[in-house]
Structure 1
Amino acid sequence: MPASRRLPPLRALEAFVRIVRLGSAKAAANELGLSPSALSRRVGALEDFVGKRLFTRQHQAMKLTEDGQTFYNAVSPKLEALAEAVESQMETSNVMRLHLGVPALYAGERLFPHLPELRKLHPRLHIDIDTGPQLETRLGDSLDAAIVLSKGPDALLHAVRLDHNQVHAFASPKLAAEIGLHPDPAKLAKQTFLISGALPESYDAWKTALGMEDLEPAAIDHYDSAQLILEAAAQGLGIAILNDDHPERTGDDRVVRLFDVTVESPYSYWFVCRPRELESRPVRLFHDWLIKTML
Structure 2
Amino acid sequence: MKTRLPPLNAMKSFEAAARLGSMTKAAEELFITQVAVSNQIANLEQSIQASLFMRAHRRISLTPEGESLYEIVSVFFRDLRALSDRTAARGDAAPLHIASCPNFAMQWLIPRIGEFRARHPSVEVELDTSSREVDFARTQAHAVIRSGSGDWPKVDCLALADIELVPVCTGEFLGRHPALATPRGLAEATLLHSGSRPDDWRTWLDATGTPGVDPGASIRFENGSMALQAAASGLGVAIAAKVLVEADLRSGRMIDLFGHAVPARDKYYFITPRGHTSSSLKLYRDWMSSSMASGLAALH
Q: TM-score range by the shorter chain?
A: 0.5 to 0.7
Q: Where do 5+ consecutive residues of structure 2 fail to align?
A: 1-17, 40-80, 291-300
Q: Deviations over 1:22-70 (max 9, x none)?
A: xxxxxxxxxxxxxxxxxxxxxx78982499xxxxxxxxxxxxxxxxxxx
**Partner residue, 1:48:** 36
Does the 8 Å CA contact 2:180/2:186 hold for their aligned counterparts? no
Q: Deviations over 1:201-258 (max 9, x none)?
A: 4222311232126631572433344332221012222211111254441455443221
Does the 8 Å CA contact 2:202/2:215 hold for their aligned counterparts? no
CA shift in 2, pair 1:184/1:170, >3 Å: closer
Structure 1 Cα separation of the partners of residues 132 and 34 of structure 2:
39
1:292 to 282, 286, 289: 286
Q: TM-score, normalised by structure 2?
A: 0.58
Q: Which runs of at least 4 in structure 1 moved beyond 6 Å after TM superposition?
A: 44-47, 88-92
Which one-letter code corresponds to 1:262 in the other structure? A
Q: CA deviation at 1:129?
A: 0.8
Which one-letter code corresponds to 2:130 in the other structure? P
1:271-286 correspondence to structure 2 within 5 Å: 271-275=270-274, 278-279=275-276, 283-286=277-280
**Partner residue, 1:101:** 99
Which one-letter code corresponds to 1:105 in the other structure? Q
Number of equivalent positions:
220
CA shift in 2, pair 1:199/1:150, >3 Å: farther
Q: CA deviation at 1:118?
A: 3.4
CA shift in 2, pair 1:166/1:157, >3 Å: same
Q: What RMSD over aligned residues (CA atoms) do the two structures have, in Å?
A: 4.0
Q: Deviations over 1:170-215 (max 9, x none)?
A: 1122322314453243x32233322322223422231123212663
Does the 8 Å CA contact 1:97/1:127 hold for their aligned counterparts? yes
Radius of gyration: which is bigger? 2
Structure 1 Cα separation of the partners of residues 280 and 89 of structure 2:
19
**Partner residue, 1:139:** 136
**Partner residue, 2:161:** 163
Which one-letter code corresponds to 1:284 in the other structure? S
Q: Where do 5+ consecutive residues of structure 1 fail to align?
A: 17-43, 52-81
For residue 273 of structure 1, give the secondary structure of its aligned residue in structure 2. strand
Q: TM-score, normalised by structure 1?
A: 0.59
Q: CA deviation at 1:112?
A: 4.5
User: Greater helix percent: which structure?
Assistant: 2
CA shift in 2, pair 1:223/1:256, >3 Å: same
1:12-23 correspondence to structure 2 within 5 Å: none
Q: Deviations over 1:69-96 (max 9, x none)?
A: xxxxxxxxxxxxx99x93599689x942
Identical columns (%): 19
Which one-letter code corresponds to 2:282 in the other structure? D
1:96-245 correspondence to structure 2 within 5 Å: 96-102=94-100, 103-110=105-112, 112-119=114-121, 123=122, 125-130=123-128, 132-137=129-134, 139-142=136-139, 143-177=141-175, 178-180=177-179, 182-185=181-184, 187-212=185-210, 215-217=213-215, 219-245=217-243
Q: Deviations over 1:139-187 (max 9, x none)?
A: 33232311223343523432110122321111122322314453243x3
For residue 265 of structure 1, give the secondary structure of its aligned residue in structure 2. strand
